[in-house]
A and B are shown apart, each in its own frame.
Chain A
Amino acid sequence: MSIRVAARSLVFVPLTFMVPILVVAAALGIGVLLIAATGASVPTAISAFWTGAFGSSYAIGASLNRAVPFALVGLGFILAEKANLINVGGEGQIAVGGMMATAAALYGAANLPPILAITVPLLVGALAGALWGGIAGMLKVKRGTNEVISTLLLSFVALNLVYWSVQTTTLLRKPQTTAATQPESPVIPQSTWLPPLTSDPASPLHVGLVIALVAAASIGITLAHSTFGLRLRAIGLNPLAARRAGMSEKLPLLALALAGGLGGIAGAAMVQGDQHVLKIGFSSNYGFDGVVVGLLSRGSAVGVVIAALFFAFLRSGGITMEMLARVPSAVVWICQGLIVIALAGSAAWLDYRAKKGRGR
């Protein structure tokens, strides 16, 4: 290796870490400028943001709770991505997961022994999500349908299914006592709620965090060290050769079902852990943001966890900033969009430079 090439690689490695940090910092800087442009006081806004994200055990607990669906959807994303399948249907998978978990909780799970009362709705949610991902997987295997489009469309269908279920009293809607009764489900029985993780009464942190971390560890190990992960990689890189080597052509179906299942658990956790009620649009873009988390982590489970935490704290801070400092949360969206675009662009630019360095 010549001196020049060696020197270049020394400079290059820190660049891969520096660039994302710089990008995020720049985006946040733009966010600050926008806050100033609205006429709101920047210090007030920032302090409101901080309070909402880290300010109290409540804030931290709530933020960590938010990270759970981001992480789960992101993990599902990188699992499918290993097989070269792009699952952007996290939002829909959360929706059906939460919906079916609510159904299970309301229609029987509550009377089961304590552990089952909690886990059965979670499992039902997971299965619902897996079914949702599986539909896209089936279409891919049987028809070659582009999974980006199918998972996306399934999301919109799912969101409307939730809408329908809480509109209809025979399904999940709570009984209408007055004309002003909101279309939403009754509160799910307390026996199905996810237990809290800490003894601090002010912190809403629940076991969802444990579920997410366990999932992250398992997915990380699976992708890097298991034969299943190897098979996914082969199918993703060269489906024909993989088939020829005897791998089942149904692997894409399995991958998308698993990814969907993770999304389903996320939805169930949101209902059983935080909201305790099924409302229209309860998924509030967690699924789409989870997809972004997956995209940004470039296949790494650790990356998913970091990105999920980042997005979670960002969202908590943004909500509080809007409440306390009257700064529209659209500013947070702008930052998010800029970060996503800039990271994608810089990743491509770094790849391009790497190839040039090695000589083409």
Chain B
Amino acid sequence: MTEEQLGLFLASCLRLAMPLIIAASGELLSERAGVLNLSLEGMMLAGAFGGATVSLATGMPFVGLLSGIAAALLVAASQAVLSVTLRANQLVVGIGFNILVLGATTFLFRQIRGAGASDLIPGLPVWRVPLLADIPILGPALFQQSSLFYIGVLLAFGTWVLIQYTSFGLAIRAVGDDPAAADNAGIDVAKTRYLGVLYAGAMAGVAGCFLSIADLNTFTEGMTKGAGYLALASVIFGNWVIWRTAVACLLFGTATALQFLLPNLGLEVPVALLLMLPYLLALLAVGGLVGNIRTPAALGLPFFRGR
């Protein structure tokens, strides 16, 4: 393997991992508050779609980014109303939104494309750190990525600070572990959970935009292809702790990157097995290697006062 190949591989690993890291950070916060968002996939797809269409329409990718976030927030808000206020089954609602968003984005995309839209969408700029990017192998991988990559790193880090060092984070943790006790302490459980879901939605929107306007610069139907589920798995693998979750995402990114590397090295590995690898890793993680999992005690359970 040449130096160049290695460098490209590392860059791919990071690039493929980042949307997962962003989405997973948001989901981690929401799950710490006790809400499981199976609709993460749908939120990411909505973000990707929103980002792509508006970026194409306005020619301004950052406006596209904001729209992508808004689209994802729309899904997240609806999800929150159903899960938190109406206390509907979080799983059903999640799956329902995934179907709905897939249908809606596909439908709208075909309508728009029918109007003669081109496939190449203005994307977010790549940021290059002057001297550091010239370091062989690691340079391009770490210091020449999309702007959204670096924003993503900050977001992930910021999420952790939020959880550990602010009163909001304390409320999130309380609400996910023992909502009754949190209620007795005067915390507004519903509001906290709402904010958790919206946070996950916003992050998912950013992650979706990463796919459509930072990485591939295009939108295809269902382009998230299960990335949302991988993000969910990585949160569990990460034991609801940010750095471990990020490691999981890196592993998944690497597995996906191998798909492109191995053929280049002349290794005849069936595509299917490489595609399978991230899911297999996630499965091993949630099943075996993780050890003592510390699930937020109230995860998935709606809160009723006086029960």
Give the interface of A toward B (CB within 8 A): 34, 37-38, 86, 88, 139, 143-146, 148-150, 152-154, 156-157, 160-161, 163-164, 167-168, 288, 291-292, 295-296, 328, 330-341, 343-345, 347-349, 351-352, 360
Contact = CB atoms under 8 A, between A and B. Distances in A.
Contacts of A343: 92
A339 B233 CA distance: 27
A153 B106 contact: no
B286 A352 contact: no
Interface string B87-99: 1110111011111
Contact of B82 (A38, A143, A344): A344
Given A292-B95, A336-B99, A347 B104 contact: no
Given A340-B95, A345-B93, A334 B280 contact: no
A-B pairs with lowest CB-CB distance, top 4: A337-B100, A333-B103, A340-B96, A164-B272
Interface string B267-281: 000111101100110
B236 interface: yes
Contacts of B229: 152-153, 156
Given A153-B229, A341-B78, A344-B82, 7 more contacts: A149-B286, A295-B91, A334-B104, A338-B100, A341-B92, A348-B86, A348-B87
Contact of A164 (B91, B93, B276): B276
Contact of A163 (B233, B275, B280, B295): B275
A340 B92 contact: yes
**Chain A CB within 10 Å — which of B93, B100, B101, B271 has the most?**
B100
Given A143-B288, A149-B286, A150-B283, A352 B103 contact: no
B279 A160 contact: yes
Contact of B226 (A156, A340, A344, A347): A156
B91 A86 contact: yes
A161 B273 CA distance: 7
Contacts of A338: 96, 100
Contacts of B295: 146
Contacts of A88: 91, 95
Contact of A336 (B88, B91, B103, B110): B103
B107 interface: yes
Q: For B82, B272, B306, which residue has the most chain A Cβ atoms within 10 angstroms? A: B272
Interface residues of B, number: 45
Contacts of B270: 164, 167-168
Of the listed residues A144, A291, A340, A343, the one surrounded by the most CB atoms of chain B closer than 10 A to its CB is A340
A139 B271 contact: no
B111 interface: yes
Nearest to B236: A149
Nearest to A347: B88
Interface in B203-258: 226, 229, 232-233, 236
A155 to B, nearest CB: 8
7 contacts: A145-B286, A154-B283, A295-B92, A330-B104, A330-B106, A344-B88, A352-B87
B97 A345 contact: no
A146 B236 contact: yes
Contacts of B103: 330-337
A180 to B, nearest CB: 18
A295 B89 contact: yes
A114 to B, nearest CB: 34
Given A156-B226, A163-B272, A337 B82 contact: no
Nearest to A340: B96
B282 interface: yes
Given A149-B232, A333-B100, A349-B86, A157 B279 contact: yes
A139 B283 CA distance: 10
A163 B271 CA distance: 9
Nearest to A348: B88
B110 A330 contact: yes
A341 B98 CA distance: 10
Contact of B92 (A146, A160, A344): A344
A360 B276 CA distance: 49
A157 B89 contact: no
A38 B107 CA distance: 9
Contact of B283 (A157, A330, A349): A157
B35 to A, nearest CB: 14
B97 A167 contact: no
B170 interface: no
A360 B306 contact: yes
